[in-house]
Amino acid sequence: MESSVNGAPTIAGVGLVTALGQSSDETWEALVAGRAIADHARAPGFLGDERAIEMACRAASEALGGAGWSKSLRARAECGIFVGTSKGAIESWMRRDGDAGNFDLFAGLSRIDVELGRRLGFDGGPRVTLSSACSSGLHALVRAVMGIASGEIRRALVVGVEASVHPLFIASFKRLGVLAPEGHGCRPMDRDRRGFLVSEAAAAVCLQAGEEFAGRPNIRIDRWAIGGDGTHLTGGDPEGKALRKLLARVMSPRCDLVHAHATGTIVNDPVELAAISDAGQTPWIYSHKGALGHSLGAAGMVSVAINCLIHRHGKIPGNVRTQRPMDMGGLRCSDQVVETPIRRSVVCAAGFGGPLAVVGMESGDEA
């Protein structure tokens, strides 16, 4: 499924919580300074079993502050909440339901949008949670864009959140052979890549119908495409056929930057790089995972938030751990900060089981 969005919705506010910062500004400063996590990492400053909920609320509050949405506006039926997460508030539901001998994953997933609505005053509009592995955040964003385009809503708070730095999931990923060895770090698009580090994150954007932001500098969601690759439960098509189709549709007609999924795994990175290269353009390519690790279901929305900052500041952080780049097939990649205006960028996300999403973002002076 794909779309070029008429009256493309505008990103009115951005919020970000990562292992390197409790706000978008803190994370941006860390990325530009070349900092990177050295091991599986939690976001600092959050305690207890409600980590995912607290992180989601922090990122959402920052985005709402940037958008200037009043509490009375949030309470309207035209304003919805869309959450992407692969596992939800895991420590809460594992403890509570485990004590009773029953694990209710779906109840754990839905708690985040319920708490966001209750704490932030969203009373009248739809609340939706999507879980599609590591594409969850981008799928939530696409669902919100569809809601605005159809007239179902006029505003949407979109949040991607993950707090899966837990022994159960670390052990599971280790058995799959996708984690970087101790001390190696995550090295996206590098010849010496050995896997990723798991990290926590929450990212949020406030979307609103484009005409309501007319005449003001903004970033819009102008194209999107979602699809499925049913090749294998934990491995994609080695030819990347589905991903190639999505990228070809969204990267057109212009693309200055691709924020790749690029997990630093042996299998994913060459397939993704080849698919991006075959789209016929020569954009800069970036992955935040070398610095921030892989936040699973939140990763796509983390990429969207960082792309907003890249558009705003006119610079791309360095791919800090990409010291021996793979064959880029004409794509441009740097381990240093690159100062360049970014008019149009693309974000990619892919998940176990085959869910894919690609989203296009465009800077403009009027909506």
Give the DSSP letter string of 176-219. Answer: HT-BPPTTT---TTBTT---B-BB-EEEEEEEE-GGGGTTS-EE
Q: What is the pLDDT of residue 296?
A: 97
| CATH label of the domain that carries residue 177 | 3.40.47.10
Classify strands 218-228 and 10-18 as parallel, antiparallel or unpaired: antiparallel
pLDDT at 212 over 70: no
Length of the chain: 367
Count structural domains, the chain: 1
Phi-psi region of 62 (alpha: psi -120 to 50; beta: other; left: phi over 0): alpha
pLDDT at 367 over 50: no
Q: What is the pLDDT of residue 56?
A: 97
pLDDT at 2 over 70: no
Q: What is the pLDDT of residue 273?
A: 97
Amino acid at 363: S
Amino acid at 330: G
pLDDT tens figures, 310-365:
999 999 999 999 999 999 999 999 999 999 999 999 999 999 888 999 999 999 75
Q: What is the pLDDT of residue 95?
A: 65
Domain extent, residue 158, equals 1-367
Cα 124 from Cα 111, distance rounded (Å): 17
Q: What is the mean pLDDT of residues 41-47?
A: 93
pLDDT tens figures, 239-257:
899 999 999 999 999 999 9
Q: What is the pLDDT of residue 7?
A: 65
pLDDT at 197 over 50: yes
Residue percentage of the chain with pLDDT more than 70 = 90
pLDDT at 154 over 60: yes
Torsion, Cα 205 208 213 214, to 10 degrees, reads 130
Question: For residues 294 and 134, is the Cβ–Cβ distance under 8 A?
Answer: yes
Instruction: For helices 51-67 and 105-120, give the axis angle rounded to 10 degrees.
Output: 40
Cα 160 from Cα 139, distance rounded (Å): 10
Considering only residues 108 and 61, tell me which one the structure prediction assigns the higher pLDDT.
61
Six-digit token string for 198: 């798991």
pLDDT at 268 over 70: yes
Q: What is the pLDDT of residue 366?
A: 41
pLDDT at 72 over 90: yes
For residue 27, which phi and psi values (nearest 5 degrees)? -65, -40
Q: What is the mean pLDDT of residues 65-90?
A: 93
pTM: 0.94
